[in-house]
Amino acid sequence: MPGLAPDAESETGIPKSRSEARRSEAMEELEHTCPQPRLTLTAPAPFADETSCQCRAPHEKLTIAQARRGTPVDRPVRVYADGIFDLFHSGHARALMQAKTLFPNSYLLVGVCSDDLTHKFKGFTVMNENERYEALRHCRYVDEVIRDAPWTLTPEFLEKHKIDFVAHDDIPYSSAGSDDVYKHIKEAGMFVPTQRTEGISTSDIITRIVRDYDVYARRNLQRGYTAKELNVSFINEKKYRFQNQVDKMKEKVKNVEEKSKEFVYKVEEKSHDLIQKWEEKSREFIGNFLELFGPDGAWKQMFQERSGRMLQAFSPRQSPNSSPTRGRSPSRSPSPPWVFNKASPPSSPKAASASLSSMSEGDEDEK
């Protein structure tokens, strides 16, 4: 017919009717454009009012089994966790970690109640709402922070933020006139339990502060805070300052004691080393002395060698008996018996003494 636009062609080349083309265009417009989980941690998580989900595609209701299988594949599972998060600690972080890892592909939204709502239903907080918002923004498991979150979740709130599941510990949370504020969420099949971390909670931390109030007040006075800022009376201020002075003196005495103990320990260690070195040197000296002057020492051998040389010098060996004798001259009288022959000196001191005795006997005979 004239005036009609030509039919669009399908991927197979077969022309489409106008209604089919419109349906395909509508489906393209309804593709999921939900925010994706954070892949980098170079910036804090955004607030929900800054980057709200503008996806127009219908969010079909999911079961927990489907979400754990990784379906749907075209969008992340949007998990919501709420709380006060006062004095943000490791128990909070572990609960958010569990909520983030419930499903293979999840987008974690965290709702934080305002100061007015918290003071009305629970009590006074240590951190104000802005401090608590910022603490959540800088948690690595959080993809989006919802400020001024409601105390009880309404269907309108769940629809607005396209929430698939709510994560919280399974203990019934009685508040605002209800035995369990998550009862209707559990009945709708949208509740996923997490485990609490034992031994850590905001109430426990506040209890420690109240219990050790004097210690913290004294520490802050020492750091420069005034008594008015700490809400401390005049008498308590003087008492705390006096206690700080006493603690300083104790610390000085303790340091002196530690240094003196360290000095004594070093002296003992040095004396032990000196005694050990002295023992080693004394053993070495005794060994060297015994090598020189012992029974088989070098000094004895040297003395024996020298004494042998001296004896040999005083008493050399006798001349052989077969040596030729000189003829006596007739004109000359025989030499007296006490005159020794130069060629044959006495072989030993004993021989010399024997010759002397024979000489004396000869003299006696002559008389």
pLDDT in tens, 137-154: 999 999 999 999 999 999
pLDDT at 38: 81
Averaged pLDDT for residues 333-340: 50
Please give the pLDDT value at position 140.
Answer: 94
Rounded to whole angstroms, how far apart are CA atoms 83 and 209? 22
More confident residue, 331 or 161: 161
Q: Provide the pLDDT for residue 13.
A: 47
In whole angstroms, how large is the CA radius of gyration of the chain? 57
What is the spatial distance between Cα 158 and Cα 134, in angstroms, rounded to a whole number?
23
pLDDT category of residue 7 using cuts at 50, 70 and 90: very low
What distance lies between CA 94 and its chain's CA centroid? Answer: 23
Residues 272-294 have a mean pLDDT of 81
| Cα–Cα dist 68/104, whole Å | 7
Give the integer Cα–Cα distance in Å for 266 and 81: 60
Residue 90: per-residue pLDDT? 95
Residue 346 or residue 39, greater confidence: 39
Q: What is the mean pLDDT of residues 67-84?
A: 90
CA atoms within 13 A on the CB side of 244: 17
Q: What average pLDDT is seen over the chain? A: 79
Q: Residue 144 forms beta bridges with which residues?
A: 109
pTM greater than the 0.75 cutoff: no
- The predicted model gives 201-219 an average pLDDT of 91
DSSP 10-78: -TTSPBPPHHHHHHHHHHHHTS--PPPPP---SSPPPBTTTS-----S------HHHHHTT--SSS-EE
Provide the 10 A C-beta neighbour count for residue 177. 8
Q: How confident is the model at residue 59 (pLDDT cuts 50, 70, 90)?
A: confident
Six-digit token string for 220: 């802050």
- 3-class state of residue 219 by DSSP: helix
For the chain, domains (ranges, CATH) are 64-199 (3.40.50.620), 203-296 (no CATH)
Residue 12: pLDDT band with limits 50, 70, 90: very low
Is 67 a residue whose pLDDT tops 80?
A: yes
Which element (helix H / strand E) includes 144?
strand 144-147
Average pLDDT in the 17-30 region? 52
- pLDDT beyond 90 at 110: yes
User: Alpha-carbon distance 160 to 155, whole Å?
Assistant: 8
Q: Which of the pair, 261 or 148, is modelled with greater confidence?
A: 148
Cβ count within 10 A of residue 64: 16
Residue 345 preceded by cis peptide, ω within 30? no
Report DSSP letters for 231-248, one per residue.
T--HHHHHHHHHHHHHHH
Give 314-335 pLDDT, tens digit per residue. 776 665 565 555 555 555 555 5
Give 335: exposed, middle or buried? Use CB within 10 Å, 0-12, 13-18, 19+. Answer: exposed
In the prediction, which pLDDT does 252 show? 87
The owner of tokens 């705390």 is: 240
pLDDT at 354: 54
117: CB partners within 8 A, 6+ apart: 148, 150, 151
What whole-number distance in Å separates Cα of residue 104 and Cα of residue 41?
A: 19
Q: What is the DSSP string of 150-184?
A: -SS--HHHHHHTT--EEEEESS---BTTBS-TTHH
**Dihedral (CA of 64, 66, 71, 72) sign:** negative
Q: So what's the pLDDT on residue 308? A: 76
Mean pLDDT of the region 195-222: 91
Both tokens of 336, joined, read 């007296």
